[in-house]
């Protein structure tokens, strides 16, 4: 194959003025079945050039006179990009701040809480703590269901030694009542777990979840769920050991009891080490120090139980929540700092408007003089002023003069050469 045939083979089909273009269907496909580049399905009317500025102008001209329903469901959806109509960041901001003023007192008294789950909420956030407790109660419910099924099967005993003496009668009653306690406790654990998860699912905002832990004693519900599971487990163990004593000998039941006691002793030692070294309650809040004083262990490690930074975040959310509440009620939500800032912005806008009007008048043909040079409107009378185009004397958004914010959110009006000195505007930290 020579070079000419290779060039023809690599040549791309033309897109304009060819027979292939006329044979495309309305979806950009090729009616003849031949492979060809994909074309735009619905080109913008009136767009002669394919440059980016022309495309943007055409998009803007059409969107300017288009209703929202047309943008979502009309013919514009064929070439407009898909946009998330719900801003998740804004809804998340609302969920984390709305209603926080109703739970501020409970959170600020975190040192009086017996279990300090309010402190965990402020440290990790509502989402993380809710996920932890949801997983906790769901695990207890699952294992309670497993043990409940085993306990129900133990009720259906048919072959049991009948001695018809007092000891045998007592052992049988212990077996029956132990199974009843086990079944009831596991059912209680499952029901508590279901109610906790249902209540948590119906909480709309972070403030509602916090109120559920405060007024609703949500953590106490999870603690009762765990206690019900443990009680049912111990009762089931008593019933199993009692059945061993009935069907075998009392010595066998005693041996099983000793083995279970050793296991519980080992478990308790390991569990205490885990909680005493990391738990917010067992170490940071109520940890027992070397001298036996409650709460002194964290102090000995120079790690006092203080949540200054999380409380500052809560205070910011409470401030936003108060402003939202006042806005919904139609009350005045603009503070003194806001009024001062708005006044400055209004003055800056008026001065800029006046500057533009004077500049337009000087640039008009009727005011041309001095060889085309114009006197600045800011120059004093009888002096040689600057030329037109000098920057305005006050600008809150320009480099010559503007608003400067330091780390404490203190706004300062920068110095201007026209005589304006630095002006301290105050702190805007309370607005957050």
Q: What is the pLDDT of residues 206-233, one digit of tens each?
A: 888 888 888 888 888 998 999 999 999 9
Do residue 245 and residue 360 come from a single domain?
Answer: no
Model confidence, pTM? 0.54
* Residue that is last in its domain, among 230, 257, 284: 257
Q: Is residue 76 part of a domain?
A: no
Structure confidence at residue 12 (pLDDT): 47
Number of domains in the chain: 3
Q: Is residue 295 part of a domain?
A: no
Q: What residue numbers bound the domain in which 397 lies?
A: 336-364+388-431
Buried b / exposed e across 369-399, counting CB within 10 Å, b at 16+? eeeeebbbbeeeeeeebeebeebbbbbbeee
Beta carbons within 8 Å of 24's beta carbon, 6+ residues apart: 30, 31, 36, 39
Q: Is residue 374 part of a domain?
A: no
Do residue 30 and residue 103 come from a single domain?
Answer: no
Do residue 126 and residue 242 come from a single domain?
Answer: yes
Band (pLDDT 50/70/90 cuts) for residue 331 is low
Choose between 246 and 290: higher pLDDT: 246
CA angle, 138 as apex, 137 and 143 as ends, to 5°?
Answer: 100
Do residue 112 and residue 247 come from a single domain?
Answer: yes
Do residue 102 and residue 185 come from a single domain?
Answer: yes
Q: Is residue 273 part of a domain?
A: no
- Express the helix, strand and coil content of the chain in percent, nearest 5 each: 60, 5, 35
- pLDDT tens figures, 45-74: 444 444 556 655 665 566 555 555 444 444
Q: What average pLDDT does the chain have?
A: 68
Do residue 4 and residue 114 come from a single domain?
Answer: no
Do residue 2 and residue 122 come from a single domain?
Answer: no
Do residue 27 and residue 113 come from a single domain?
Answer: no
Do residue 122 and residue 246 come from a single domain?
Answer: yes
Q: Residue 397 in 3-state DSSP?
A: strand
Do residue 27 and residue 110 come from a single domain?
Answer: no
Q: Is residue 287 part of a domain?
A: no
Do residue 103 and residue 30 come from a single domain?
Answer: no
Do residue 246 and residue 104 come from a single domain?
Answer: yes
- pLDDT tens figures, 91-110: 777 788 888 888 888 888 87
Q: Give Cα 18 to chain centroid, integer Å.
A: 56
Structure confidence at residue 95 (pLDDT): 81
């Amino acid at each position: 194959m020579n070079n000419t045939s290779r060039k023809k083979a690599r040549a791309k089909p033309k897109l304009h003025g060819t027979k292939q273009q006329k044979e495309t269907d309305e979806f950009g496909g090729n009616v003849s079945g031949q492979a060809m580049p994909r074309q735009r399905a619905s080109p913008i009317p009136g767009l002669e050039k394919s440059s980016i500025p022309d495309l943007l102008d055409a998009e803007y001209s059409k969107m300017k006179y288009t209703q929202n329903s047309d943008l979502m469901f009309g013919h514009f959806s064929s070439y407009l990009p898909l946009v998330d109509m719900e801003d998740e960041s804004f809804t998340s901001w609302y969920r984390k701040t709305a209603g926080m003023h109703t739970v501020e007192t409970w959170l600020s008294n975190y040192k009086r809480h017996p279990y300090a789950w309010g402190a965990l909420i402020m440290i990790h956030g509502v989402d993380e703590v809710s996920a932890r407790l949801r997983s906790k109660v769901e695990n207890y419910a699952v294992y309670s269901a497993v043990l409940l099924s085993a306990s129900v099967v133990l009720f259906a005993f048919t072959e049991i030694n009948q001695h018809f003496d007092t000891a045998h009668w007592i052992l049988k009653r212990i077996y029956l009542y132990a199974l009843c306690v086990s079944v009831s406790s596991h059912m209680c654990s499952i029901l508590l777990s279901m109610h906790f998860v249902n209540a948590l699912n119906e909480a709309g905002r972070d403030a509602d979840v916090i109120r559920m832990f405060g007024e609703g004693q949500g953590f106490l519900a999870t603690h009762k769920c765990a206690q019900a599971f443990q009680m049912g487990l111990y009762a089931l163990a008593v019933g199993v050991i009692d059945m061993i004593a009935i069907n075998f000998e009392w010595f066998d039941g005693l041996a099983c009891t000793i083995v279970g006691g050793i296991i519980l002793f080992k478990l308790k030692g390991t569990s205490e080490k885990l909680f005493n070294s990391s738990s917010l309650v067992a170490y940071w809040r109520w940890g027992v120090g070397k001298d036996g004083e409650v709460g002194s262990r964290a102090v000995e490690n120079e790690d006092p139980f203080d949540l200054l930074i999380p409380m500052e975040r809560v205070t910011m959310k409470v401030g936003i929540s108060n402003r939202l509440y006042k806005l919904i009620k139609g009350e005045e939500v603009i503070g003194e700092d806001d009024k001062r800032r708005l006044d400055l912005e209004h003055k800056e806008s008026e001065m800029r408007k006046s500057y533009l009007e004077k500049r337009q008048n000087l640039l008009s043909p009727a005011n041309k003089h001095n060889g085309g040079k114009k006197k600045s409107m800011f120059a004093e009378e009888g002096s040689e002023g600057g030329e037109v185009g000098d920057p305005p004397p006050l600008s809150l958004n320009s480099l010559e003069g503007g608003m400067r914010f330091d780390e404490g959110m203190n706004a300062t009006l920068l110095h201007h050469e026209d005589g304006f000195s630095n002006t301290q505007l105050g702190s805007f930290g309370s607005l957050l």
